[in-house]
A and B are shown apart, each in its own frame.
Chain A
Amino acid sequence: MSRIGVFVCHCGENIGRTVDCAAVAQACGELPGVVHSIDYKYMCSDPGQALVKQAVAEHKLDGVVVAACSPHMHEKTFRKTVANAGINRFLCEMANVREHCSWIHEDREEATQKAIDLTRFIVEKIKHNVPLEPIKIPVTRRALVIGGGIAGIQAALDIADGGCEVVLVEKEPSIGGHMSQLSETFPTLDCSQCILTPRMVEVYQHPRIKLMAYAEVDKVEGYIGNFTVTVRQKARGVNASLCNGCGECQKVCPNKKIASEFDAGLGKRPAIYVPFPQAVPNIPVIDRANCALYKGRARNAKKDACKKCEEVCGRKAIDFDQQDTFLTEKVGAIVVATGYQLYNIKKEQDKEAISGYGEYGYGTIPDVIDGLQFERLASASGPTGGKILRPSDGKEPKTVVFLQCIGSRDPAKGIDYCSKICCMYIAKHTMLYHHKVHGGQAIVFFMDIRAGGKGYDEFTRRAIEENDALYVRGRVSKMYRDGDVIKVLGFDTLSGEPMHIDADMVVLATAMRPQPGIESLAQKLSVSYDRFGFINEAHPKLRPVETNTAGVYVAGACQAPRDIPDAVAMASATASKILGLFSASELEREPLVAQVDQGTCAGCFHCVRVCPYGAVEHFEVKDRKGNLIKTVAQVNKGVCQGCGTCQANCPSKSVELQGFTDQQIFAAINAF
């Protein structure tokens, strides 16, 4: 006969207001098998847990039912409590009388009856609970970091400095990300490259970091502690082990008219190129779409059109026939740090939900640029050598209008969220402009100035008060080109006056969006993402850098719009989480996984077909002499997520989900 204890929680007023907790405790006390039943105001509090512990000892309980909130909230708490009291923690179950009862009902009498019923079901279920032991799985103490921007660099360095190996995968030819494109950084105005490039070099030289630039994650298999990742190393057309980065090939390349990605389209680069002089690794890539040789080969030309780079390369490093290669890496944890792209105002968008700005000419007006392009204009390493010159005719713009919230905070454009960094970087732009163009006027149209952060508000005040930026609270309704100027029609909502400005250049603070392809990467990793494509964190407050897949972490702007300090903080947090994970040689997992009865399994392998995680394998049952008797299903306890799909689908009822066996579930249902 069972000796079950029932503990009914009031959750302050949360449950007690609607449910007569004392009546529930009394009714449950009369159930067969229940030897102890009480109610208490806060069962999860210290004295509440003490009551449970004390009862286990006094009444020699072999089952504990806590009627309280959702098991998501406190199952762990109470299981730990009973474990401390000396019984197996899987002999503790929760009845959810808050989310499933008190919060959703009004009638006290009916709610009380429902709470009694819910608790009764669990009492019947727990009579069939058996002690379970946690699963122990080995850990590969090696991490994969996806994305070599500032977040990925920080995460990789922190993990590697903590003593574990890191594989850093970057899809572009060089690491550095968007931060390497910036001129100065807010709120200190220190040079972006000056603080970033030493970190990039550190990554390159670190003995525990394996850098794979110009590579992408192709496939991810396995589970926390034991991932197998296939990485596609894209063909550079250059043998990385022979190249010494002398740069001669770039000088002789005849096609130097390609818009440079690094200069946000404002500068030019050759077909064989490194994105920028400080690139890490400093090994060029051949842009096959623009290289005459590859274009010729695609047309089946009889002779290769141009081999100038090969001819000039003293190291014989050019390899036109190089192919993509696939490498397999074993890692125990993964950091997603793929960063952002900027929204564009064009008519054609990559997502149906997002639309462009027809009122601003859909991106067809010359000298209307975005924030990253302004960064390149202001950067000493940029196409103008740091002079603010407008792209169309190279003239110095005397009036520059900055528009904030382009796309951002506009559900009509399909981007509801605030991009967070724009208020700050526009303030920075006005300062840089003020320093570089004497007598120039910066006019900023803003919705709100959101400058929360250390030294941030002071920074925007400085732009307004010391750098003469004219801040106008309002929106611009229309822009069009009229001769040499851009007519900007806006509205000052504070004075109530319409504004007509003849601008020489317009800078749009376009919204931050996750990188293209984030959805497919997230699917490979089995992590969820929101409707904008940002990776979902496991909990917005308490688990900000974990995802819903164990062992996969998230850092930087692929999770939400982030500035550099945020991205770096998140990256260090992932590193700390991963080093914590790697501190033990074995991982403990909840044993709530499927188990196959190999005696009754007929080997139909329907479970293999339905398992969403690929957790069911074939297992050969052999006799003592090694002769094959039959092949049956076997569940990999490391991979199984305990969803129960196999259990529901097994025709011979040979699979049972531990903790949710048919016997337990039917007992609960029969109690109804």
Chain B
Amino acid sequence: MKIGYFPGCSLDFSAKEFDTSLQAVATSAGMELEEIKDWACCGATSGHATNHLLSIALPARTLALAEEQELERVVAPCAACYSRLATARHEMAEDKKLFSKVTGILKRDFTNSVQVMNIAELLRDNLPAIKEKVTHPLKDLKVACYYGCLLVRPPKVTGFDDTEDPSSMEEVCRAAGATPVKWNKRLDCCGGGFSLSRTGSVIRLGKEILEDAQAAGAQAVVVACPMCHSNLDLRQKAIAEQTAKPLEMPILFITQLVGLAMGISEQILGLNRHFVSAQPIIAKATVKALPAAREEA
């Protein structure tokens, strides 16, 4: 079945590798992604902070476009996009007045029927297909799955996993052969949109998160949000100034991890675009290829 694809601004630019890795993994696992034509900003950061109606109407327009393309489900890989789309859908479903107000603004036929998914949910729901395509299981790799704040919250809006004790990312990592570690900060905030305005806070939060992941034995942190990725990857240099020795913790998008296990090339997965090198992990993936995959190569 076709799944609507809402890349959002991050995946179009700063997190291009999230987009390419997702596309590659989806193709490999037989998921047909169809980009929503003429999609617009989801309204994260400034949009939802300034005007409530705008914050609902912006994602509603995207959802209406998806309906026009006869898509039943839309995946929004960016956690902020996902949150905005899912919140708009939820609020319009709960509040009939708001819904009619928004449809009045959109001037489109819109029934609010599109289901909104995030990347962890999409991969988890397609685990059998993914497992089938895993040729390079990441056997000795210990990963810390980092959900951040928006992926599973608030429970009424998300609802695909346990808000306080989620497991979908771990399930996906296990399918890729990796070993998820138990750690404490997987639901903590990375600082999100304060990356530029309050960099000090973002560095402090990132340090706490990465140190906890490292203490738990993780060799990499797996994320499902471009904002989390940027804060943990880009700011590691600044974090290193406050620690005895650099953390050198590779931050991977969950699609990159799955892509590695599927034997997809690092160029396509965009692993060269990170500030902290992912080479140690790439080595693991290539060395540990399944016999069948080696023969093919």
Contacts and interface: CB of A to CB of B under 8 A. Distances in A.
B156 to A, nearest CB: 10
B162, B164, B165, B184: residue with the most chain A Cβ atoms closer than 10 Å: B164
Nearest to A347: B165
A482 B165 contact: no
Interface string A461-504: 00000000000000000001110000100000000000000000
B163 interface: yes
B144 to A, nearest CB: 14
A361 B184 CA distance: 10
- The majority secondary structure among interface residues of chain A is mixed
A358 B163 contact: yes
A480 B164 contact: no
A362 B184 CA distance: 13
Contacts of B164: 357-359, 362
Interface in A349-386: 357-359, 361-362
Interface string B140-173: 0000000000000000000000111100000000
A357 B162 CA distance: 11
A347 B162 CA distance: 10
B233 to A, nearest CB: 25
B97 to A, nearest CB: 24
Nearest to B152: A358
A480 B216 CA distance: 13
Contacts of B184: 480-482, 487
Interface residues of A, number: 10
Nearest to A482: B184
Interface in B163-193: 163-165, 184
A359 B184 CA distance: 10
Q: Which of A347, A357, A358, A362 has the most C-beta atoms of chain B within 10 angstroms of its own C-beta?
A: A358
Contacts of B165: 347, 358, 361-362
Interface in B71-111: none
Nearest to B166: A358
Nearest to A412: B155
A357 B164 CA distance: 8
Contacts of A357: 164
Nearest to B184: A480
A359 B165 CA distance: 7
Contacts of A347: 162, 165
B213 to A, nearest CB: 13
Contacts of A359: 164
A574 to B, nearest CB: 42
Interface in A432-485: 480-482
Nearest to A487: B184
Contacts of B163: 358
B163 to A, nearest CB: 7
Contacts of A480: 184
Interface string B182-210: 00100000000000000000000000000
Nearest to A481: B184
B270 to A, nearest CB: 33
Contacts of B162: 347, 358
Contacts of A361: 165
A480 B208 CA distance: 14
A42 B164 CA distance: 59
B241 to A, nearest CB: 24
A480 B165 CA distance: 12
A480 to B, nearest CB: 4
B166 to A, nearest CB: 9
Interface in A322-367: 347, 357-359, 361-362
A491 B246 CA distance: 32
A359 B162 CA distance: 10
Nearest to B163: A358
Interface in A9-32: none
Contacts of A362: 164-165
A347 B165 CA distance: 9
A468 B162 CA distance: 38
A361 B163 CA distance: 12
Contacts of A481: 184
B187 to A, nearest CB: 8
A203 B152 CA distance: 55
A181 to B, nearest CB: 30
A359 B152 CA distance: 13
A206 B184 CA distance: 57
B167 to A, nearest CB: 11
15 contacts: A347-B162, A347-B165, A357-B164, A358-B162, A358-B163, A358-B164, A358-B165, A359-B164, A361-B165, A362-B164, A362-B165, A480-B184, A481-B184, A482-B184, A487-B184
Given A358-B162, A361-B165, A482-B184, 12 more contacts: A347-B162, A347-B165, A357-B164, A358-B163, A358-B164, A358-B165, A359-B164, A362-B164, A362-B165, A480-B184, A481-B184, A487-B184
Query: Nearest 6 A-B pairs (CB), nearest first?
Result: A358-B164, A358-B165, A480-B184, A359-B164, A358-B162, A362-B165
